[in-house]
Amino acid sequence: MSRFGPDPQAFFNAVYQAAAPWDIGAPQPAMAALLGKYPPADPVLDLGCGSGDLVIYLAQLGHRVLGIDFVETAVEDARAKIRALSPEAAGLLRFQAADALELSRLGEKFGAVVDSDFYHLFDPDQCDRLIDEIASILHPKGCYYMHEFDIAFPVPNVPRQVSADEIRARFTAERGWRIREIQSVEFLSRIADPAPAICACIERLAAPQANSSPIDQV
């Protein structure tokens, strides 16, 4: 069972009937900074794009971007924002209703995958599947960018804590990953003070390697 009940899609559908608490009208600043430090290769895929601000930000920087979310209302909200964009930016982005746990069904490969508060929605067994799916659609040398909660809340229906140790344990050279950087950052919301969060930039290797590679910085 998901952390969000037997029907997580219904849970998120209900959240989007009002302004979602994570919808700050802009990308998470720490994610934007990470993308500035490690510029993504195109095309970029945004997992659980919500109302689309990170996709729009990347398109305005000149990237080709696809944002996917399984909530139709979120995708419609995102598409409605396209009208305010320049023709150049509008021509670079797409939004699609899709399940981000079934990325191979998209039938496309990507130069980068961005994940702004998506991975932390899932318990560890589901994250195994998510990482396999990401690996299946990411070009070698492409990067996976994460921004997740690094705090545990003792209430139901909230994301889980993601630690630097978990990221190091999952994204190993033996499994075909190289961690470029892990940072302690903040999660901003519309409804509460900033919360502790973690950001990472993780490169997909051309092939699994026997030895673990060092992390650039923690």
Ligand X SMILES: C[S@@+](CC[C@H](N)C(=O)[O-])C[C@H]1O[C@@H](n2cnc3c(N)ncnc32)[C@H](O)[C@@H]1O
Residues forming contacts to ligand X in the complex (CB under 6 A) are 8, 12, 22-23, 28, 48-50, 68-71, 74, 99-101, 116-118, 121
Least distance to ligand X, CB of residue 190, Å: 10
For ligand X, which residue has the nearest CB? 48
142: CB partners within 8 A, 6+ apart: 40, 41, 110, 111, 112, 113, 203, 204
Least distance to ligand X, CB of residue 22, Å: 4
9 neighbors 70 (Cβ within 8 angstroms): yes
What CA–CA distances, in Å, run from 74 to 9, 63, 80, 121?
12, 21, 10, 17
Report d(CA 214, CA 86) in Å as an integer: 42
User: Which of residues 38 and 70 has its CB atom nearest to ligand X in the complex?
Assistant: 70
User: Which of residues 116 and 179 has its CB atom nearest to ligand X in the complex?
Assistant: 116
Least distance to ligand X, CB of residue 9, Å: 7
Say which residue the tokens 């190091």 belong to.
Answer: 168
User: Which of residues 22 and 145 has its CB atom nearest to ligand X in the complex?
Assistant: 22
Least distance to ligand X, CB of residue 211, Å: 34
Radius of gyration of the chain measured on its C-alpha atoms: 16
User: Which of residues 24 and 173 has its CB atom nearest to ligand X in the complex?
Assistant: 24
